[in-house]
Amino acid sequence: MTRKTKIQESFTTFFVLLFLVIAMFCFLMNLVKNSEVGESYLDVTAQLPGKHEIEVMQGKSEYLILINKTYGLHETDEPEDLVMVSFRADNRPAQYQKLRAEAAAAFDRLAQEAKGQGLTIVVTTAYRPYSYQKQLNDTYLKSNGQLWTENYSAEPGHSEHQTGLAADVSSPSAGYELKPAFADTAEGKWLADNAHRFGFIIRYPEGREAITGYKYEPWHIRYVGAGPAAEIYNGNLTLEEYLGEVK
């Protein structure tokens, strides 16, 4: 073998090795990126038409994610730790009666304590994927019109139900329905006074429509964790105010 051929061969080997190292590096970086997405599905940024950029409250608990008419989630975002709650209405699809593990356990403790007082509080729907929210929203638009839909229903990607941290609850005393009169039932009153002890807040309080963007929903509870829930309850705040989103 001539000296020239040897040098050529060395060069070829060098470049092949370099290529392999780069390829390996790219592969590993992709793995890291994917595992990050898997671990914190809520750490996303995206732009929906006509909406502000999606943001997650940096430095706050993942249970304090803010989803409203401004902030939303991707179509594919889905929590990985969804579990079925034990206290649920039988007349609704079970597949939509799941919450993230910590929230589900907290809700079951809440419902158990209510039961001890002779009250029945059950989940009608909790986690809703983007596709189901889209279907619901389209149905409401057709049957109830634009105004009603804007007041009560979230656009797909902008529903708290997609976080797995929100639940609509009701009771036999309210016919298992979601209606303002639930607030006047024994269950509705107990829920308003006690939900915070289990880490939940009444997410859309009466008279705060201008801040939350929704009419009073005494049936929609949102898990934020016990500490924040107590502060929000005691301060008579909305989640938007608590997170400093209201200037």
Could you list the residues that contact Zn ion (CB under 5 A)? 168, 220
Closest approach, Cβ 26 to Zn ion, in A, equals 43
- Name 183's Cβ contacts closer than 8 Å, sequence gap at least 6: 189, 192, 206, 216, 218
- On the 0-12 / 13-18 / 19+ scale of CB atoms within 10 A, 16 is exposed
Q: Which is nearer to Zn ion, 154 or 232 (CB)?
A: 154
Catalytic, 217? Answer: yes
Closest approach, Cβ 157 to Zn ion, in A, equals 15
> Apex CA 231: angle with CA 88 and CA 80, to 5°?
45
Q: Which of 224, 98, 70 is CA-nearest to residue 162?
A: 98
Q: Which is nearer to Zn ion, 208 or 220 (CB)?
A: 220
Selecting among 53, 55, 217, 241, the annotated active-site residue is: 217
Half-sphere exposure of 54 (CA within 13 A, CB side): 19
| C-alpha span between 25 and 68 (Å, rounded) | 39
Q: Which residue is nearest to Zn ion (CB)?
A: 220
Closest approach, Cβ 234 to Zn ion, in A, equals 23
Q: Which is nearer to Zn ion, 219 or 242 (CB)?
A: 219
Q: Which is nearer to Zn ion, 125 or 185 (CB)?
A: 125
Closest approach, Cβ 160 to Zn ion, in A, equals 7
Could you tell me which residues are beta bridge partners of residue 53? 47
| C-alpha span between 58 and 62 (Å, rounded) | 9
Residues belonging to the active site: 217
